[in-house]
Chain A
Amino acid sequence: MSSVVEEGKTYEPGTYPDLPPPPSTVGIVGWVRENLLSSTTNIVITVLTLYFLWVILPPSINWLFLNAVFEGASRDECRAIMREAGASGACWAFIGHRFELFVYGFYPVEERWRVDLSFILMLAAIVPVLWDKTPQRGKMMIGSALAPFVIGWLLIGGFGLETVPTDKFGGFMLTLVIGVTGIVGSLPLGIALALGRQSHLPALRIVCVVFIEFIRGVPLITLLFVASTMLNYFLPPGTTFDLLLRVLIMVTLFAAAYLAEVVRGGLQAIPKGQIEAADAMGLKYWQSMRLIILPQALKISIPGIVNTFIGLYKDTTLVIIIGLFDPLGVGRASLADTKWQGLSTEVYVFVAIFFFVSCIAMSRYSLYLEKKLHTGH
């Protein structure tokens, strides 16, 4: 073997030092060369992307922010201001006027602090669930488990608070109530259905399969109509059953059926040896599931689970069809106001931004979780 020569230096075999990489491959310059300009195709794509951004971004920013009117009492005022400036943009004054309606629906004004408090409680309850470094996580989790009941009491009332009928619920608050209840309720139910579908007890298995296939085979809107009309036929005469509660049940069942299939996919990906090892060590069925199988199966299923959650969250807008005032319902009602006619773009963009922010948060969190739970190679 001969010695290696680099820049005139000679090293004995086995003593060659670690050299830094060439400057053109590191730092910002390196990143740009590597990722944006590495080949002809890449250069073409980069240029096209920049052109596309140039076409899309400036007008959007102008419409959304720079030329937008934030204050005014009617659409005509908005128009007048824009005419003066010689530009056209969004009339956010409309949203500003209707903001409370968008957030609280028809919830009584003097009771709205209860919605605000519920929202804060919900955030506080979510932290220990989503973030495993929460101090005193065990104790905090007990609080999280109790939070839904407190929130339910705050929103509906009774026991010392004035009762607010659920048909006063509306706007983003309604979206959150349906979305969060659906998510919290459907995950355990979906897991149970997935396990049931894999059970070796035929009766249990058949019940789960029939349930999943039925719910998946029927559009959500149909289920919501069933919830709003048909359920009365099945219930004893004279029973009144809150419409929102029926919707919550239907949305939860619907999402649970989808989740069950997502989780089943995860369960099937776990090698048989895992359950055999757990069995051989004497763990009971539920212990093996809870400690060994589900943590792994759910980890694999995270993208699918979050996908289902996002779908559920957006599908809450379908309740408009059975007469509940979700943000779209509020928006449509607001557009009927003669003072503000013709501003549907603003309304739908505003609602879209709300949903987009919620959904992107879920999606980002799922990525963080996947990364955190990655343990092997």
Chain B
Amino acid sequence: MSTPEAEVSPETSDTSKMQVSDEVVIRIKDMHKWYGAFHVLKNINLEVNRGERIVICGPSGSGKSTMIRCINRLEEHQQGDIIVDDVELTNDLKNIDAIRREVGMVFQHFNLFPHLTVLENCALAPIWVKQQPRAEAEATAMKYLERVKIPEQADKFPGQLSGGQQQRVAIARSLCMNPRIMLFDEPTSALDPEMIKEVLDVMIELAQEGMTMLCVTHEMGFAKTVANRVIFMDGGEIIEQNEPHEFFDNPQHERTQLFLSQILAH
């Protein structure tokens, strides 16, 4: 695991501005999910307040990606409730659309659209989902591309960019929809080590601006810097959750201790 804390720049690790409000934006209650007969998520209960930065970790196959993918209905849950921004996630397409407009997602493999330029990738959803005029959508896209520090790549195709640049474009693309919640599904796992930092820096800035974030990652340095809660999952259950200091220094559960000893010792 490549998780040296030195990767996080000192000037960006100022967490004082990050405020957590009392407003609950995601409420998951007694949620279960099965793949066929396989019980992947067991009795998930989670409340996320506005402005929270939550890091979800756990061994592979523990259900952490599946859980955050349930939040925007990329995966369907079979039992329990998921309420995002007061909208309950049901089979009602209207609700799903409403939630997807509020929730941005960044994937492990970027999932940029290879046949569109970087700018078109970013402007696509605002134009078609929010019916923004093209010029306005492209101006917004440029603004976010500047924020992730690659405005000069706007006219290139994703295939011409490095992995780190592609992931930053993917983040900008999500931000263009002006989401109130961001989901990150292992955003740095497919990147070369020297590119991880540029992506994490963007994510840290986002956290400092008060974005509500749920992030599946093994970047423990990131967790210590920006997370206000770390969740450990194993076997489809939430085993333990705590604020980062307590989580890393004083893990309560045996399985958490084992996991941490495995990823931190090398």
Instruction: Give A contacts to B, CB under 8 Å.
Output: 271, 273-274, 276-277, 279-284, 287, 291-292, 295-296, 299, 373, 375-377
Contacts and interface: CB of A to CB of B under 8 A. Distances in A.
B214 to A, nearest CB: 13
B177 interface: yes
Given A271-B109, A280-B105, A291-B128, 10 more contacts: A276-B74, A279-B100, A280-B74, A281-B100, A281-B125, A282-B100, A291-B124, A299-B115, A375-B114, A376-B158
B107 interface: yes
A277 B128 contact: no
B159 A283 contact: no
A287 B97 CA distance: 13
Contacts of A287: 128-129
Given A276-B107, A276-B111, A281 B177 contact: yes
A46 B124 CA distance: 52
A375 B114 CA distance: 7
Interface in B74-128: 74, 97, 100-101, 103-105, 107, 109, 111-115, 124-125, 128
Nearest to B104: A280
28 contacts: A273-B111, A274-B111, A274-B113, A276-B107, A277-B105, A277-B107, A277-B112, A279-B72, A279-B100, A280-B74, A280-B100, A280-B103, A281-B100, A281-B129, A281-B174, A282-B125, A282-B129, A283-B124, A283-B128, A291-B128, A296-B114, A373-B115, A375-B114, A375-B115, A375-B159, A376-B158, A376-B160, A377-B160
B248 interface: no
Nearest to B128: A287
A283 B125 CA distance: 7
Nearest to B105: A280
B114 A376 contact: yes
Contacts of A283: 124-125, 128-129
Given A280-B100, A283-B129, A287-B128, A296 B109 contact: no
A292 B109 CA distance: 16
A370 to B, nearest CB: 13
Contacts of A277: 105, 107, 111-113, 170
A273 B166 CA distance: 14
B159 A292 contact: no
Contacts of A291: 124, 128
A284 B101 CA distance: 12
Interface of B: 72-74, 97, 100-101, 103-105, 107, 109, 111-115, 124-125, 128-129, 157-160, 170, 173-174, 177
Contacts of B125: 281-283
Contact of A280 (B72, B128, B159, B160): B72
A170 B211 CA distance: 69
B107 A282 contact: no
B111 to A, nearest CB: 4
4 closest Cβ pairs, A-B complex = A376-B159, A277-B111, A273-B111, A281-B125
A276 B100 CA distance: 11
A292 B125 CA distance: 11
A282 B115 contact: no
A271 B113 CA distance: 10
A376 B157 contact: yes
B25 to A, nearest CB: 17
A107 to B, nearest CB: 44
**Most central of B111, B129, B157, B173 by chain A CB within 10 Å:** B111
A271 B112 CA distance: 11
B122 to A, nearest CB: 10
Given A282-B101, A283-B128, A376-B159, A273 B113 contact: no
Nearest to A274: B111
B165 to A, nearest CB: 13
A281 B124 contact: yes
A274 B160 CA distance: 18
Given A283-B128, A373-B115, A273 B107 contact: yes
A279 B128 CA distance: 12
Given A375-B157, A375-B159, A377-B160, A282 B111 contact: no
Contacts of A295: 115
**Most central of A276, A295, A373 by chain B CB within 10 Å:** A276
Contacts of A281: 100, 104, 124-125, 129, 173-174, 177
Contacts of B74: 276, 279-280
Contacts of A377: 159-160
A296 B111 CA distance: 13
A337 B104 CA distance: 75
Contacts of B174: 280-281
Nearest to A272: B111
Contacts of A280: 72, 74, 100, 103-105, 174
B85 to A, nearest CB: 14
Contacts of A373: 115
A51 to B, nearest CB: 45
A216 B125 CA distance: 39
Nearest to B98: A282
Nearest to A377: B159
B162 to A, nearest CB: 11
A283 B124 CA distance: 9
A299 B157 CA distance: 16
A296 B157 CA distance: 14
A287 B124 CA distance: 10
Given A276-B111, A375-B159, A282 B97 contact: yes
A369 to B, nearest CB: 13
A193 to B, nearest CB: 23
A329 B50 CA distance: 77
A270 B43 CA distance: 34
Nearest to B101: A282
Contacts of B73: 279
